[in-house]
Amino acid sequence: MFDPKKIEQIAKQIHESMPQSVKDLGNDVEQKIRQVIQGQLNKLDVVSREEFDVQTQVLLRTREKLTQMEQKLAEIEDKLEKKSDE
């Protein structure tokens, strides 16, 4: 869902900004940071860009169909009004 390269970049920036004493704890600090970031991002209630784009297209098609149906309904109502006026 999230770009792994971006997560790695953020983890690396965090790791580089840490004091040297924390960096000396081990090389896996950056990996742990990456895991924490990924875990927190996964908890967010968000959708991927791909899913968002798909749903946008579905919504557009649905709007088009709704507009067509509204036009047909208006035509039917006009016909009914004309018949009742006769």
- Whether residue 35 is found in the same domain as residue 65: no
At residue 51, does pLDDT exceed 80? yes
- For residues 36-60, average pLDDT: 87
Interatomic CA distance for residues 74 and 76, integer angstroms:
5
Give tens-digit pLDDT for 12-21: 788 778 777 7
Residue 68 belongs to domain spanning = 47-86
- Whether residue 42 is found in the same domain as residue 24: yes
Better-predicted residue by pLDDT, 36 or 58: 58
Q: 43-52 burial, b if ≥16 CB within 10 A, otherwise e? A: eeeeeeeeee
- Whether residue 80 is found in the same domain as residue 40: no
Supply the pTM of this predicted model. Answer: 0.49
Number of domains in the chain: 2
How does residue 53 score in pLDDT terms, banded at 50, 70 and 90?
Answer: very high
- Whether residue 17 is found in the same domain as residue 36: yes
